[in-house]
Structure 1
């Protein structure tokens, strides 16, 4: 737990050092109480029952057993009660300190991990299952709290108690103490062996649980498609297969843990029996009192308790060990799009974005863009057309640095965007995607998401600016209508209009419109295109579309084929030129129900 893999955890533990130190002090006091618990019984047996004389150092401290036998018994009874009350209070206080500290540590870890994951590049997120991310943010982080509490509440007081017990036993009879303590190495060797086996088994359990969580999220998130194609039985089988593997891993971990306790208890029972026999023989010989034998047996039990406790909490430590490894893996991830230490600020409004011989590949061995060059200035619209997979969306992703060009450069007002602050760069760009992402909030809050600090009035003004206010006011509660998760309670056109208003509120000088009118009916497309016209006015607009009718009036059309610009020009010039664009136009001109609609840069 404290090895290199858990080095990052120590920083969080240090942040709560006051609470953890206070908890440790309380548990140290409890260890002292546990150390004293058997002693009243020792005096009751030796001095009250057998009326042995008190040790000289106890004269005046306890009543004389020869003359005040019942008074001594009463005193010892009250001492036992006091020790029990003290133990209860210390347990409560220690538990509270460690539980609260653990909660705060877990909160900080989860917040930092969430912030770190948000800032990792799209390349990382696209290769991860959403269920995997959620499992590490919730389940794995929660295991760390259980670990902190188990160490503070269970192992710390018992560990300190063992040291005290061993010391006292050696002072009473060092020979018998060595015999009694000889079982300790065996117990902890057994614990170590099983802890390693259990950690490996739990690592497999966690891996299968995470995969199962991802599969469940994927199936339930796509339930409409599952039902539409009648694939429920298939998904039942897929879920069952993953759940079966998770079950097998869990059963194996249970078997390992189930073996742990019996093996440990058997070792303890054999050792206790042998030591009790030897101790009784020593009492018979007169070299040990019955009360001292009771102390030895009580302390032997006390030494065995942490081992038993480890058997009970082995799953907690195993899970925590795996969680530390898994969280550490994500913490070690670095974004493929990193802000340079010497990154420059960018103030004002950009007026030009330029691609200069840009090449890009999602993998090192395969490029999807080859020598792409063009410039887009404020007040102009460039349209990207081409077959699916030709590189249109990849070009759009390079502008806000979701990915970095592998060759060439993307320039903003003449500056390589890799040398600019990411936040400043992304404030220059507004996105309207084919499938807009809306949050579970009111309509106005979804629009206001486009600018930090924007309120309801600014959101309504943005909606009016793009001409969608009438559409929004027609919703059940107008701008206060609550939107379901991912906008499922709205139509595609309504989602698109809200996304356009959000981009208008953002007021960025560069607008990227990725398939803005795809799959819309004629009436909805007309409303959306009118809103887009208002959004694109006086801005640098980059439009990506399969429907060529939406880009006819662009100032320049770039035709892409296999990541290369194979033609460029206006709609009319490209039709006259023939080639790839004319073939696309002829193939797709019937796709648009309203070919007269145009995106015009005012």
Structure 2
């Protein structure tokens, strides 16, 4: 993974280095091809000069080719065979060299994509909250595709063309440097045009890619919220939003395409004028006897050969600029460092006992808006602790500190006496199982979703975990049992079924600490009973931290902690807190009213709450 301050196209060398043997072989093949391309016009020169005009062959050729005076047809046949051989050799070297370059380049880009994905997974949740998922996906797809296109373009002849161009200029200067300077007169102008347009094109393409990324983020957002869009009849509003962003993307793309389309004709025009001037001057040189007709043919062939690379460079300008922009955008991602990472010498103790302690913990997503204030909390091994409070009180935020999804701003969170920041992240998270309000299932079979809870788990392990959670009969009642396919986000299963699969996954993990984030709040009464029974099996003998909206589900907790405004305002058992007739009692009364249960009057001063009860 790149560690440079700035990721650019040059940074790709890190990924190309492991393929240096293939690249060296490709470079050798392309160099040979460049030499072949330089030789291709010369048989024509000798056909014109020696076969047609009977000029003598150079001394070094006279010994192995027929005499142009005595054996003109034989010399013509020999030169024709040489032309065919050079053409076949050019074809073979092009095929082999291009394949070696393409395979090495595409594998390098594949490894870059793999590193980018791994880096994204390890970036802190704060980063992903700031970025739309669609925009991040555009880096993995669109920007990587731009680099793949760049590799394909370079591997399809740009390298060989560049070598050939250098060789042609060298030979022309050797034959007649005055003529060569005239042929090359348009070079500085073309280089200036290429640099000017490439800079403008790069800016335009950067704007276009940014607009495309924003559009991808908007599409992902709308598709994710489609049930709300349809339920509230907001189709027209979202059509307008999409149209506005798509229009901005279109304008940026048109600007970039227009620049690219203007560039190629300018290069072609410069080449055409240079060809006309070179032909005129070359003909005069032949008439004055300074060069032969065959040498003029070589010059014109080289000039035509130089035009092909220049046209190729003009066509490739957009691809290269897109690759540069893509590298910059990927650099933005690689520049982001994970906020949560291992310290040097991170500890990996034996299996945790499940003792959790929060010492003077404060936390804020943004510096000016603290969420938690000076939290002090001890959770003994095997103890069940429930977090309750109004919406926004900080319950879920506190729970995320335990698996170290965030680090506290001040204070410490300890597991078995070890500061979480001193523990190896993989070890820490192996000690914790999660069951969330919205079960997160992946595409695959039911058993594969259960097996996701432990690396290397088999189908039999998944079935055993389901039996341990007491839900195997429910899974066997599905159309294909444990092999029933699960769609995206658990499509095809009911809410209760998805939650049961999530519990079996946590059971398979066999972790000493279990975090339950409102696991039954979205279920009906029947599903809640089934899930609650499975949760009781899961949490037995394990340290459990549970967040609950329905207070009836946590009445048997060992300790109930009441949060208000990010502070612990009460703690104790259910009966004790009701007797105190404070914050918890008020929450219990509101919850009872919501469930339609009989409410026992509370004789105490009601607390003032500024948010809806959880």
Where on the TM-score scale, by shorter chain, does this alignment land: which range?
Answer: over 0.9
2:559 to 541, 546, 556: 556
Is the Cα contact below 8 Å between 1:8 and 1:328 reproduced in 2? no
Match of 1:353 in 2: 356
Give 1:247 shift.
0.9
Q: Secondary structure at the match of 2:56?
A: coil
Matched, 1:321 2:340: no
Partner of 1:475: 478
Distance 1:593 1:526 in 2: 18
Distance change in 2, residues 1:593/1:83 (3 Å): farther
Match of residue 536, structure 1, among 511, 536, 539: 539
**Aligned partners of 2:597 and 2:230: how far apart in 1?**
33
Cα displacement string for residues 369-400 of structure 1 (whole angstroms, at most 9, x for unaligned residues): 00011111122211111111110000110000
Counterpart of 1:52?
Answer: 55
1:486-544 deviation digits (Å, cap 9, x = unpaired)? 10211111111111111111111111110011121111111111111111111111110
- In the alignment, structure 1 segments of 5+ residues that lack a partner are 597-602
Q: For the Cα contact (< 8 Å) 1:191–1:307, is it kept in 2?
A: no
CA contact (8 A) 1:202 1:322 kept: yes
**Cα drift, residue 70 of structure 1:** 1.0
Within 5 A, what are the aligned runs for 1:24-173? 24-173=27-176
In the alignment, structure 1 residue 391 sits paired with structure 2 residue 394: yes
CA distance in structure 1 between the partners assigned to 2:385 and 2:7 by the alignment: 52
**2:178 matched to which residue of 1?**
175
SS in 1 for 2:561: strand
Residue number among 283, 296, 301 corresponding to 1:298 in the alignment: 301
Instruction: Verify the 8 A CA contact 1:451 1:506 in the aligned structure 2.
Output: yes
> Does 2:547 align with 1:523?
no
Secondary structure at 1:357's aligned position in 2? strand
Task: State how 1:129-528 maps to structure 2 within 5 Å.
Answer: 129-528=132-531
Counterparts of 2:369 and 2:233, CA distance in 1: 37
Contact 1:497/1:531 (8 A) holds in 2: yes
Residues 249-297 of structure 1, C-alpha deviations (whole Å, 9 max, x = no match): 1110111011101111111112221121111111111111111111111
The 2-side partners of 1:97 and 1:429 are apart by 47
Q: Hey, what's the Cα distance between the residues in 2 that align with 1:411 and 1:174? A: 79
* Aligned-partner Cα distance in 1 for 2:205–2:349: 49
Q: Secondary structure at the match of 2:594?
A: coil
Residue aligning to 1:573: 576
2:611 corresponds to = none
Change (3 A) 1:468 1:592: farther
Any gaps of 5 or more consecutive residues in structure 2? 600-614
**Structure 1 residue 4: Cα displacement:** 6.3
Whole-angstrom CA distance in 2 between matches of 1:188 and 1:544 = 66
Judge which range, 506-515 or 75-84, deviates more.
75-84
Deviation per CA, 1:285-342: give whole Å up to 9, x if none. Answer: 1111111111111112222322211111111101110111111221221111121012
Give the SS at the match of 1:590: helix
- Compared with structure 1, are the counterparts of its residues 200 and 595 closer, same or farther at alpha carbon in structure 2 (3 Å cutoff)? farther
Q: Are the counterparts in 2 of residues 27 and 153 from structure 1 also a CA contact under 8 Å?
A: no
- Say if 1:594 and 1:307 are closer, same or farther in 2 by CA, change over 3 A: farther
TM-score by length of 1: 0.96
Task: Deviation per CA, 1:335-372: give whole Å up to 9, x if none.
Answer: 11121012111222323101111000011222100001
1: distance between equivalents of 2:89 and 2:555? 84
Query: 3-state SS of the aligned residue for 1:589?
Result: helix
**Aligned-pair RMSD on alpha carbons?**
1.7
Aligned equivalents of 2:507 and 2:320: distance in 1? 52
Deviation at 1:593, TM superposition (A): 7.2
Q: CA deviation at 1:595?
A: 9.9
Query: Which residue of structure 1 aligns with residue 594 of structure 2?
Result: 591
Cα–Cα, structure 1 residues 581 and 420, in superposed 2: closer, same or farther, change >3 Å?
Answer: same
Name the structure 1 match of 2:14: 11
Secondary structure at the counterpart of residue 338 of structure 1: coil
**1:483, 1:152 → 2: CA distance?**
42
Distance 2:486 2:165 in 1: 60
- Residue 600 (structure 1) aligns with: none
Q: 1:151 offset after TM fit, Å?
A: 2.5
Instruction: Give the conservation status (yes or no) of the 8 Å contact 1:346–1:421.
Output: no
CA contact (8 A) 1:434 1:518 kept: yes
Q: Distance in 2 between matches of 1:478 and 1:55?
A: 85
Change (3 A) 1:595 1:552: farther
Contact 2:208 2:253 in 1 (8 A): yes
